[in-house]
Structure 1
Amino acid sequence: MKILLINESTWRQHAKAHQEKVDHLTTEWRQYSASGKKHPTLDFLFSYYNLKINRLRLWSPGPDITLEGEHDGSLLFGHYSQSKKHCQLNPERYPKQRLKNFKWISQLLKQTSERIPVFNCYGVHEWSMIYKSDSKRHEQLPLRVSTKTLDNFVESTPCQCTHFDAYRFFTDDASPLIQHPLSRENQEEYEQSGCLHANMDLYKWAYKLYPFMTGDLLLRCFELAIQCRYLDMQASPYDMSEFKMEPIAVDTSQGREKYISEQHRLKKIADPIRTELANAYDNFIAICNKESTI
């Protein structure tokens, strides 16, 4: 396998640009956090998804790269080995015990790409999470619709949800309304590329492999997750006006058309990322398999 050598000046520029981009993308979230306030859209990216921002800021060139010079706080300490003149990802830190899970993730990504996308779910999952419930998932947010409107939308909209990690938060009354009951065991059968949450989860699959893939790919997944989460909350029954977010009223025909349009736009962004991410997993699996035969 050919190992690419990057000079110190070049890789430090990449590391700095990576950190600056993370800081830019998280400016609003950090401002809210510093004031002790929650942001219902951006907090999700650091609560449901568990990659800490300090780790997100650390750049990686991927496993096939050798860097000239000494590594510092721009890279993930412990994951890099150091010689007198070079540093690179340390093969002893390769999570080989997770190869079985990595193979499953790679397969899931490929099968998701191959399956026919669904564009008529209308974001009903967020509504189903509070259907006929006395509590809300976001207690600090008021609803923008009446309870009657919420119930009518859930009951009149065929539940086409294909994402288990959304379905598992449905209320007990909403769960039976789904057309295809979902489980962790049948996730590979239903996950499809039109799904907002499946595209958001590309960020999760990216950081599970990190730093054994490029920082550039990680940040593209993070940017996509931000866009998906904004659409998620815009189409929800919550009033997001405090956060200057225009609602996408999926309980109306115009709102449903807007939601579908956004689904198509985000799928177009996600498709090449999903392919690149599957390739990154396969590349890392191949590296580990080759090392095990040496």
Structure 2
Amino acid sequence: MRTADPLAPTRLTRAAWQARRTAHEARVHALVGDHLARRRAGVKHPVHDFLFGYYSHRPAHLRRWSPGFGVVCEGDDAPAVASLDDVVARRPLVEATARLLAATASRPANLGCFGLHEWAMVYRLGDDPTRHAAWPLRLGAAGTDEVVEGHRIACSHFDAYRFFTDAARPRNALSPGPGDRPAFEQPGCLHAGMDLYKHAFRLGPLVASELVADCFELARDIRVLDMRASPYDLADLDDGAFAPVRIETADGKREYAAAQAGFAERGAPLRTRLLAACERLLDAVETADEDIA
């Protein structure tokens, strides 16, 4: 959908952009300070390290501020901002991201998966090392396998499904692939919610850094539920901050589904903002093409 004057810039005074940059840097420092301290001390964390290892986006990059495309910052010391050439060069990424965001938003949230993707990743591993070998399985290997065998597995997210064990993969009701994400992803999926952060930082600096930080904060909170509902026993981690959500029980399922619905509700406006940003970027490219023609 064509936005009004997609090439018309928004101007920020020096005081305005400095205030936004300072606030963003302070916010990110509060979000990642503990992670940086652990990294300096050589201490690993099975929950919070995930966002920086799996997504390969460094804290320094998250801290770097940009107002997004179409914003001009005034002053001799103004930061560099994204240009139309930057948008053109990344048009395929913007188009693909917009398709995925729109397709995901078009579906109702499915709240019946109960986080069993993490259980399927260790199904029938026996004595083989698990993904978090330093942490025991809460129900042991046999008990974990029984939970998988006693439930319907319906993971819609390829980047979770691809880590299923060979024995677990045929048990999944769906067969998502790397090239068909728009056909499967739905807003109730925890990994689809976390991936809003991936979409946002991959679009930087074309989108405002505040939006990237908003998505990071959502992803960080989702990751906590993801691991609390996992088969790993993290009860002693961080003074009990990761008490298990026992999804093998009726009460645990209700707790998980309620939290999952809350994250879907939080993610919806972020997905809308990202999609709007993509549409504005694509409108700018189309307008420039029309002007040239």
Q: Same fold (TM over 0.5)?
A: yes
Q: Distance in 1 between matches of 2:47 and 2:177?
A: 26
Q: Which residue of 2 aligns with 1:194?
A: 188
For structure 1, which segment, 129-138 or 142-151, has the greater mean C-alpha deviation from structure 2 after superposition? Answer: 142-151
CA offset at residue 169 of structure 1?
0.2
1:147 maps to 2:134: no
- CA displacement, residues 135-163 of structure 1 (integer Å, 9 cap, x when unaligned): 21112222222212201111111001110
Which of 280, 283, 291 is matched with 1:283 structurally? 280
CA offset at residue 246 of structure 1?
1.1
Which of 227, 233, 242 is matched with 1:233 structurally? 227
CA offset at residue 34 of structure 1?
1.6
> Per the alignment, in what secondary structure is the counterpart of residue 251 of structure 1?
coil
CA offset at residue 18 of structure 1?
0.3
- CA displacement, residues 52-103 of structure 1 (integer Å, 9 cap, x when unaligned): 111111111111111111346xx4xxxx2xxxxxxx43334x0524312321
Q: Which residue of 2 aligns with 1:126?
A: 118
Q: Which residue of 2 aligns with 1:100?
A: 92
For structure 1, which segment, 183-192 or 156-165, has the greater mean C-alpha deviation from structure 2 after superposition? Answer: 183-192
Q: Distance in 2 between matches of 1:110 and 1:194?
A: 14
1:109 maps to 2:101: yes
Q: Which residue of 2 aligns with 1:9?
A: 15
Q: Distance in 2 between matches of 1:242 and 1:163?
A: 28
5+ residue gaps, structure 1: 81-87
| TM-score (norm. length: structure 2) | 0.92
Structure 2 CA distance for partners of 1:253 and 1:127, relative to 1, 3 Å = same
How many residues get paired? 280
5+ residue gaps, structure 2: none
Q: Which residue of 2 aligns with 1:28?
A: 34
Q: Distance in 1 between matches of 2:141 and 2:46?
A: 21
Q: Distance in 2 between matches of 1:247 and 1:10?
A: 44
One-letter code of the match for 1:282? E
Q: Which residue of 2 aligns with 1:220?
A: 214
Q: Which residue of 1 aligns with 2:61?
A: 55
For structure 1, which segment, 99-108 or 215-224, has the greater mean C-alpha deviation from structure 2 after superposition? Answer: 99-108
One-letter code of the match for 2:112? N
Q: Distance in 2 between matches of 1:166 and 1:249?
A: 20
- CA displacement, residues 87-143 of structure 1 (integer Å, 9 cap, x when unaligned): x43334x05243123212101101101112210101000011011112211122222
Q: CA RMSD in A?
A: 1.4
- CA displacement, residues 198-231 of structure 1 (integer Å, 9 cap, x when unaligned): 0000000001111111111111100000011111
Q: Distance in 1 between matches of 2:220 and 2:231?
A: 19
- CA displacement, residues 3-61 of structure 1 (integer Å, 9 cap, x when unaligned): 22111111111101101100001122122112101111111111111211111111111
1:246 maps to 2:240: no
Q: Which residue of 2 aligns with 1:68?
A: 74
> Per the alignment, in what secondary structure is the counterpart of residue 144 of structure 1?
coil
1:260 maps to 2:254: no
Q: Which residue of 1 aligns with 2:84?
A: 91
Check the 8 A contact 2:137/2:144 in 1, yes or no. no
Q: Distance in 1 between matches of 2:231 and 2:261?
A: 21
Q: Distance in 1 between matches of 2:159 and 2:265?
A: 22
Identity of aligned residues (%): 35
- CA displacement, residues 220-259 of structure 1 (integer Å, 9 cap, x when unaligned): 1000000111111000011212233111111111111110
Q: Which has the higher contact order (CA 8 A, sep 6+)?
A: 2
Runs of 4+ in 1 over 6 A off after TM superposition: none
Q: Distance in 1 between matches of 2:49 and 2:74?
A: 37
One-letter code of the match for 2:201? Y
| TM-score (norm. length: structure 1) | 0.91
Q: Which residue of 2 aligns with 1:173?
A: 167
